[in-house]
Structure 1
Amino acid sequence: MPRLRLALRLFHLALVIALGTLLAGIVSLFERVVRRDLMPLRQRLTRWFLARLGGALPFRVRVEGELPTQPMLWVSNHVSWTDIPLLGALQPLSFLSKAEVRDWPVAGWLAHKAGTQFIRRGAGDSSQVGQQLTRHLQQGHHLLIFPEGTTTDGLALRTFHGRLLSSAIDSGVAVQPVAIRYLRDGQPCPVAPFIGDDDMLSHLLRLLSSSACDVEIRLLAPIPSESRSRNELARHSQAIIASALLLNAAEQEQAEAA
C-alpha cells in the first residue's frame, strides 16, 4: 500500500510538472511573437500551476487572514521548498531565490518564466539586486522573499536580513508578513523541513511516502514601510512572525546564535 501511494503521487506530480512546462513554453513562444513582456499573464498562470503543484503534495492547507489588494513585499519564514507552491497559490507572486535554483532541471526554467528574481550569495551585488526588486514592486507586482536567507526546521527563526527589505521602502509599498508552519498530530512535522544536506529527490520521495500533514498559513497585518528603516522593518516582521508561530524568546536566541 505505501508503495502504491508513492507511485500514484509521483505520477500525479509528473503530470502537473509536464503541464506547467507546456504552459511556460507556450507563453514564452507567445512573448516572442508579440515581442512584449507578459508578466501579469505569467504570474496568473504560475499561480494556477502552483496551486496544482501544491495539490499534488501530501498537505492539508489552512489559510488565515486577508489577502492584500495592493502590491506588497511579502516576507515569510522558510521551512522547505514546498513553501513556494503553497504560498504562490494564494496570489500571483514573484519570488526571490538563490541563483543556484536557476540551474535546476525544469524547476529552474519554470521559476525563471514565473518571474523569479535570482540572487547570488556573496556576489557583492546587493545594490543591483535591491534596484531590481524595487523596479519589480513599482511595476505593480507582488514579490515574496524569505529574509532568513535559508530554510530552518520550523522550530525557530533565524535573523531577518534587513537589506532585503529596502525595496519596500524605496518603492513605497507595505510589508506583508506571513507565517507558515507544518504540523503532524499537532507537533512540528519532522518530514517537511528541507534543511542541511537534504537533496531535492531524497526529500521529495520521503515527503511523498509519508502520510499527509497539516499546513497553517497566517497572513498577518501589513506593516507600513513609511518612516521606517530597513532594520526596523526586519525586526518588526521577524517579531510578529515569531509570535504567530508561537516561538518563545529562548528558542529565538538559540537560533540566532546557531
Structure 2
Amino acid sequence: MGWLRVVLRFIPAMIVLLAGVVATLILRLPERLIAGQARPLTSGITTWVCRSLLLIIGIRLTLKGDVMNRGGAVVANHSSWLDILVLNARKRIYFVSKAEVEAWPGIGFLARLTGTVFITRRSRDAAKQKNLFQDRLSLGHRLLFFPEGTSTDGLRVVSFKSTLFQAFFAPELREEMAIQPVTARFIAPPDASDDFYGWWGDMELAPHLLKVLAHPKRGAVEIICHDPLFVRDFSDRKALAKACEAAVGSVFEG
C-alpha cells in the first residue's frame, strides 16, 4: 500500500510540475521582453504549482500573520526541501541560494527558471551581490534567505549567520529596507515522529521523498509571519540577525 500511495501521488505531482515548467517556458520570453526581470505572469505559476504539490503530497498549510506587501527580504528557518513549496505557496518569493545549486542537475534548472538569486560567499563578491540585491528589490521582489546556513530537524532554530545581513546596511538600501522573519513549523502526521518532515545532515533526498509520499495520513505546516523589521533601526548586522533569530525561534520556545 505504501508503494501504491507513492505512485498515486508521484505521477500527479510530476504532471503538475511539468505543466508549470512548460507554461513558464512559454510565457517567460514575452514576459522578459515586456517586463524584464519582473515576473508578473510566471510568478503566479510558481505559487500554483507549490500549492498543488502540497495538496497532492498531503500537507495542510495554514498561515498566521500578514505577508509583507512590499519588496524586501524574508528570513526563515530551514527544515527540509519542503520549505521551497511551503514558502512559495501563499505569496511569491525569490530564494537566495549558494552558487553551487545552479549547476545541480534538474534542481538547478528549476531554480533558474523560477528566478532564484545565486550568490557566492567570497568577500570580494560583496559589492556585486549588493548590486544584485538592489536590482531585484527595486522590482518589488521579496528575497528569501535561510540564515541558519543548513537545514535542521524542524524542531528548533540554530544560530543565524549574520554575513548576508551586511548587504542590507549599504547606504542605498538601509533606510528603506524591511526584513520579515517567518517561521515554518511542520506538524507530523499522526503516529509519526515529530521530526518526520525534517531533512538534514547526511540524509538522502530520495528516501526522504519516498517516506513522505508513502505515509497514509496527512500532516500540516504552519507559516507564521512576524512583524517586519527595518534595517535602519539596528546598529549592525549582528544585532539585526539576532532580532530575526529571536522572532523566528519564538514559535519553538516552551
Shorter-chain TM-score range:
0.7 to 0.9
Q: State which of 207, 218, 239 in structure 2 corresponds to 1:212.
A: 218
Contact 2:28 2:42 in 1 (8 A): no
Relative distance call for 1:95 and 1:32 in structure 2 (3 A) is closer
Contact 1:168 1:175 in 2 (8 A): no
CA distance in 2, matches of 1:110, 1:205: 20
**Which residue of structure 2 lines up, in the alignment, with residue 48 of structure 1?**
48
Return the letter of the residue paired with 1:14: M
Contact 1:24 1:110 in 2 (8 A): no
CA distance in 2, matches of 1:146, 1:224: 18
What is the deviation of 1:186?
Answer: 9.9
Relative distance call for 1:122 and 1:205 in structure 2 (3 A) is farther
CA distance in 2, matches of 1:126, 1:74: 19
Structure 2: give runs of 5+ residues left out of the alignment. Answer: none
Contact 1:98 1:119 in 2 (8 A): yes
TM-score, normalised by the number of residues in structure 2: 0.87
State the Cα RMSD in Å: 2.4
- Establish whether residue 183 from structure 1 lines up as the match of residue 187 from structure 2: yes
- Establish whether residue 135 from structure 1 lines up as the match of residue 135 from structure 2: yes
- Establish whether residue 221 from structure 1 lines up as the match of residue 221 from structure 2: no
CA distance in 2, matches of 1:124, 1:150: 23
Q: State which of 232, 243, 246 in structure 2 corresponds to 1:239.
A: 246
Q: Secondary structure at the match of 1:216?
A: strand
Identify the range of structure 1 (159-168 vs 3-12) with the bigger mean alpha-carbon deviation. Answer: 159-168
CA distance in 1, matches of 2:11, 2:194: 24
What is the deviation of 1:14?
Answer: 0.9
- Establish whether residue 117 from structure 1 lines up as the match of residue 124 from structure 2: no
Q: How many residues align?
A: 247
Q: State which of 180, 203, 207 in structure 2 corresponds to 1:202.
A: 207
Return the letter of the residue paired with 1:140: G
Structure 1 stretches (4+) deviating beyond 6 angstroms? none
Structure 1: give runs of 5+ residues left out of the alignment. Answer: 248-258
Relative distance call for 1:182 and 1:81 in structure 2 (3 A) is same
Relative distance call for 1:37 and 1:223 in structure 2 (3 A) is closer
